[in-house]
Structure 1
Amino acid sequence: MNNAQGSAPTATDPTSSGPTFSHENTLPRVPLPTLEASCERFLAWCAPLLTADERAATEAEVAAFLRPDGAGRMLQAALEAYDATDGVHSWLDTFWPYRYLGRRDRIALNANFFFLFQDSGQSQLERAAGLVAGAVHYKKQLDQELIPPVVQRGRPQTMEQNKYLFSTTRIPGPQQDTVRAPYTEEQPGPSDARHIVVFFRGAMHKLDVLGTDGVPHSLDDLEAGLNAVIKAGAEPADAASSVGHLTTMARAEWAATRESLRTYDPRNATTLDDIETALFCVCLEDFAPADTQEACDNLLHGDRGNRWFDKAVSFIVFADGRAGINVEHCELDGTTVLSFVDALLGTPAPEHSRLSGARSQGLPALEPLTFTLDDDLRAQVRSAAEAFAAYGEATATTTVSFDDFGANTAKALRVSPDAFVQLAYQLAHQRAKGHLGATYESIATRQWRRGRTEAMRVVTPEIQAFVAAMEDPAADPDTRRTTFRAAAEKHVARAKECQAGDAPEQHLWELELIQRRRGAELGVTEQPALYRTPGWLTMRDDYLSTSSAPSAHIQYFGFGSTSSRCIGVAYVLLPERFNVYLSTPLPVAAPMHTFADHLRAAVTELRELLA
């Protein structure tokens, strides 16, 4: 359960000529590694985490996998044939749907991610109306392909994910979910929806943000419409009628309940259609968070029926005007959402409104969205609400903020900013838990056709040597500096390999999935033993799951942890500041808080060492 938000690229030139999607068919394909290269890298990547006996056992199974008549050869041949098939954009075309849409646990808290925006000083209604106006302007630009393709270091990046920002909803399925979205055979081209869904106190309203002629409503109109929703919610909705709670359920359970909901009354199917086709959701809260951490926690898993977690984009605005976004991850990575948020927040709302051609049209069309429920459905809503509240309470989180350290500090010390913070995480983890552990970092790969992210494993022999030197009282500063720089250089080199498509994990994982899907047909009837080796199991058992989202417009970025002992590490590393949001299951909260304390100390210690 990796949170592959995707570390955002640096040195990005957002300006490029040509329509938004003009480069999509000319981008290079994701390279398919050779079986030998991925197996060699896999052994190198997992080795630092294994004992000598575990390494030997893993090496033996890799050798069997690589034999001329081994399972690996047959699976690789099948993948090569698939990659060469007409209409296939990438050998990962079936991997991504399985990875995200195939998960069967709840996506709320486990998969969705959030950004907490910088404060604007505006009231709740002014802030919400401004976000709607900005999003509508972006949508109109996207429809006309006026959003410039992103170019990084001279290389165009795929813009394909932008097609899933609006009117996109994940639909639960019994075995695998699906996505309802525009730009598909079912709905060619951009969404023609004119409405959003607004939540307040567990009740939903359909609010038109575009007039009948497609012209956006003015800011005043939008504010009036949102105010009407709040007035309509003077009394909180009956908790058992807040169907948004159902989107917190495990996927197969939600799929069955959704079918019951849809078929119980024809009007329920119409309401679902209104929600699923809406451009996006706006969730208005009736409270102000006590502090930044509470704001983050509510962006991640606050609900009270006031969310539709299957919706691609939900803006959440608190009573004091603080705001953020919750994102459904299956078609959207952090880099795409960051570009969207930067466009949204980098221009004042009145300018967005003017540029979109908005005009005053009076109070927007507004209607409540309700479901007809029987006793069983109401009981399921209550049960989902109680179960998810308990799940949220069983998650421990904290924030760590550095106002005196940022990317510029690391650069002044002649080290990659990302390498610096990753080494600080490793040192803090060693001191908090007494050992290193598998660490995941997502690496953006949008320079490839329909590229998303690659899985990077952070722990290297160089990092082991660095941590050992830092923990050795006899090691002198020169030794510690030397091991630090060697570890940092190795980290940068590995990240570049991942960006180039030279990484083993997703390749080997897809071979395993081919065996599951087509093993009988290919003559590979059993899971290859490689996938039960200490190397494969240990390398992918996250102790730290890390991802970065650098934007001056956000304060914090966050997601849930990925296993029973994992610490989710979401960080915003900017030139002059560094903010981290940590999450972990409540039973292991104490080590997370210890890790946070050691992280503060490690950043200071490493600065002093390198200075």
Structure 2
Amino acid sequence: MGKTLTPNRTNHSDKSSSGSHDFPLLPTMPIPNLEETCHNFLEWSAPLLTAQQQLCTKAAVERFLADGSCSEALQSDLIEWGSSLEVRNWSSPVWKDLYLESRAPLPINSNVFYYLKSKLDEGKNSQAHIAASLISCVYQFIELVDTKSLSTDMQKDAPLCMSQYDNIFSSTRVPKSGTDELKVSASRRHIIVLHNGNVFKLQMLDESENIKSPTDLETELDQIISIADNGQNIGLLTTLQRDVWAQGRAELLSLSNQNQATMNTIEQATFAICLDQEEPEEIQDISQQLLHGIGCDRYFDKSLQFVVFRNGKTGINFEHTGVDGSVMLRLVAHVYDNIDQVFLNVHAKGNTGFESQVGDIEPLSFELNEPLSHLLESAKGRFQQHISETQTRVLGFSSFGKEQIKTFGVSPDAFVQLALQLAEYKLYGKCYSAYEAVMTRTFQEGRIDVLYTVSPESLAFINTMINVGCEIRTKQQSLVLATKKHTQRANECRTGRGVYSHFLALKYRYKMAKEKLGLTELPELFSDDGYLALTNSVVCTSTTSEYGVELAGYGPIVQNGYGIRYFIRNDSICFNMTARTKMQANLESMHFYIEQSLLEMAEVMRVK
């Protein structure tokens, strides 16, 4: 590639910095007024509750807000802590803690995948060639990040916080008992490559501290692919329940200095490349392979893993603690825009690279004792059981997309969300809580908040749709009102006035400061039926820009729920849907009802 990479990036620790970029200081996310949050909570939870439950929840809120209650102490502590010098955004550490505290296995439950579009001909280019092009593109992007040359992300006319870009690379979620740790290294010198159960360290800099050429990377990757021997399958350990893996990792490190050095090499790697032997062709198979694969050639603790299948199809599996989807998709867009130019640029410059040096590919292995060998074997069985408990369905809806929906005079996202609620109602005869992630990056170190989509307006719309005697005009008006309410709630979340993050932060401050505050138990509001109904997100959804992406997805976040990731394209809508295997029949029904609901709603809105 012929460019010099700064081996260790600069750390940005000054509170006045906006992350990796220099632009006017972003506003601080305000801590919402507690009474306003509670008012919204009552409104947002009401459609999910019986009349009696609503009365009980209202009484719980009144007790929560009463003079002298613990809510005053928690809110005051949150305000004091949130304004301290070490906290740029009161919600950011709260979300980070939420991820790190989860003890569930990372694959399916937490990690997210993207299936990437590519301008490279998968039939004419080898697995190693495509992987080398991908690696070179990513290092181009790293250079932009580390030299503060990446243009600022924008949401319409508003600049977005860029701090999450510092967490994409050389980043690993380390298992610890109780709560994990996110380690971010400054190193950019090597990546790890996983193939056939083996792990390899691949040096990325040549003798002159330049990034290796894609030609040399392709040669080295071909060498790795040619190794037929099965490895230790050490990545399977990262599929375990987090406390179990934490104990295993501690045992692993205690055995030898070699194990400590090997683990350090893996955790400091810029990212992981997984050279899969699988050749998925069907979109549903690709979805499942990227969501979890078979576990042997993954390292789910790494914040960033690229998967390159033998047939050249590519994707990403990323760990969510430090990075949200909108940030990862900027990297995806760069790869899509540049991957077909990598080797063209090399040939244009006449750069054939240097002869790869001995030691540039280093096999990594661990010393294992008998308990660890048993744990590894156990991990394989547990993972097979884990993936057998989740099903995936992909719905490619091709009748219309955002351009048609815009002619109805409503938000395309709100329209799709209403279709999801209508589909759920057809299946269950009611709507459970539904979750949509909303970005808050217009603030310093903003992450997301949760838009709960079921509203009195959306239920009124559903009632008009299922009422065969209801006039078309009434249905149209009801749909428009429901989409406006959805947009209103989205704006509340986007501007830091959502319910979930505020309540989550109060619970976080209880955990961190209860002794100081003299509190002995969590406020009863957080065990009230209203809170439990609202936060039990049976339908968990998200959407972002689809540029450079064919498909994206994740698992359900509750046992009786659905994980639905969708892209609204100009003339189509693509849904990746997951649910537990015990709900397979319901998943098939949701698939059918979503398509049916979209068609019915469009038919209503087309009437003049």
- Counterpart Cα distance in 2 of 1:66 and 1:567: 34
- Equivalence for 1:249: 240
The 5 A counterparts of 1:456-495 are 456-495=451-490
- Equivalence for 1:363: 356
1:552 aligns with 2:547: yes
CA contact (8 A) 1:137 1:353 kept: no
Deviations 1:141-187 (Å, cap 9, x if unpaired)? 211111111122221101101001111111111121111113xxxxx
CA contact (8 A) 2:272 2:306 kept: yes
CA contact (8 A) 1:137 1:352 kept: no
Secondary structure at 2:513's aligned position in 1? helix
- Counterpart Cα distance in 1 of 2:97 and 2:308: 33
Q: In the TM superposition, what is the alpha-carbon distance from 1:433 to its structure 2 partner?
A: 1.9
Number of residue pairs matched by the alignment? 581
CA contact (8 A) 1:19 1:147 kept: no
Decide which moves more: 600-609 or 360-369. Answer: 360-369
- Counterpart Cα distance in 2 of 1:71 and 1:438: 27
- From 270, 288, 297, the counterpart of 2:288: 297
Stretches (4+) displaced over 6 A: 355-359
- Equivalence for 2:229: 235
- Equivalence for 1:14: none
The 5 A counterparts of 1:224-373 are 224-232=219-227, 234-237=228-231, 241-351=232-342, 354=345, 360-363=353-356, 365-373=360-368
Secondary structure at 1:244's aligned position in 2? helix
- Equivalence for 2:60: 61
**Residues 408 and 504 of structure 1, relative CA distance in 2, 3 Å threshold:** same
Decide which moves more: 222-231 or 523-532. Answer: 523-532
1:141 aligns with 2:144: yes
- Equivalence for 1:9: none
- Equivalence for 2:121: 121
CA contact (8 A) 1:133 1:349 kept: no
Amino acid at match of 2:605: L
Gaps of 5+ in 2: 1-17
The 5 A counterparts of 1:430-445 are 430-445=425-440
- Counterpart Cα distance in 1 of 2:343 and 2:150: 14
The 5 A counterparts of 1:413-432 are 413-432=408-427
CA contact (8 A) 1:48 1:464 kept: yes
Secondary structure at 2:540's aligned position in 1? strand
Deviations 1:229-251 (Å, cap 9, x if unpaired)? 0112x1333xxx21110001111
Deviations 1:32-85 (Å, cap 9, x if unpaired)? 001111111111110111111101111111101111111111111111111222
CA contact (8 A) 1:219 1:350 kept: no
- From 555, 558, 562, the counterpart of 1:567: 562
Amino acid at match of 1:306: D
- Counterpart Cα distance in 2 of 1:117 and 1:353: 21
- From 439, 442, 447, the counterpart of 1:452: 447
- Counterpart Cα distance in 2 of 1:161 and 1:67: 39
TM-score, normalised by the number of residues in structure 1: 0.92
Q: In the TM superposition, what is the alpha-carbon distance from 1:333 to its structure 2 partner?
A: 0.3
- Counterpart Cα distance in 2 of 1:412 and 1:319: 43
The 5 A counterparts of 1:139-218 are 139-182=142-185, 191-218=186-213
Q: In the TM superposition, what is the alpha-carbon distance from 1:354 to its structure 2 partner?
A: 4.3
**Residues 311 and 359 of structure 1, relative CA distance in 2, 3 Å threshold:** farther
1:108 aligns with 2:111: no
Q: In the TM superposition, what is the alpha-carbon distance from 1:513 to its structure 2 partner?
A: 2.4
- Equivalence for 2:605: 610
**Residues 429 and 566 of structure 1, relative CA distance in 2, 3 Å threshold:** same
Q: In the TM superposition, what is the alpha-carbon distance from 1:367 to its structure 2 partner?
A: 1.2
Amino acid at match of 1:203: N
**Residues 216 and 352 of structure 1, relative CA distance in 2, 3 Å threshold:** farther
CA contact (8 A) 1:134 1:349 kept: no
**Residues 359 and 158 of structure 1, relative CA distance in 2, 3 Å threshold:** farther
- Counterpart Cα distance in 1 of 2:189 and 2:507: 43
- Equivalence for 2:4: none
Secondary structure at 1:409's aligned position in 2? helix
Secondary structure at 1:347's aligned position in 2? helix
Deviations 1:78-132 (Å, cap 9, x if unpaired)? 1111122222212224312311111111111100000001254223222111110
1:22 aligns with 2:31: no
- Equivalence for 1:3: none
- Superposed CA RMSD in Å reads 1.8
TM-score, normalised by the number of residues in structure 2: 0.93
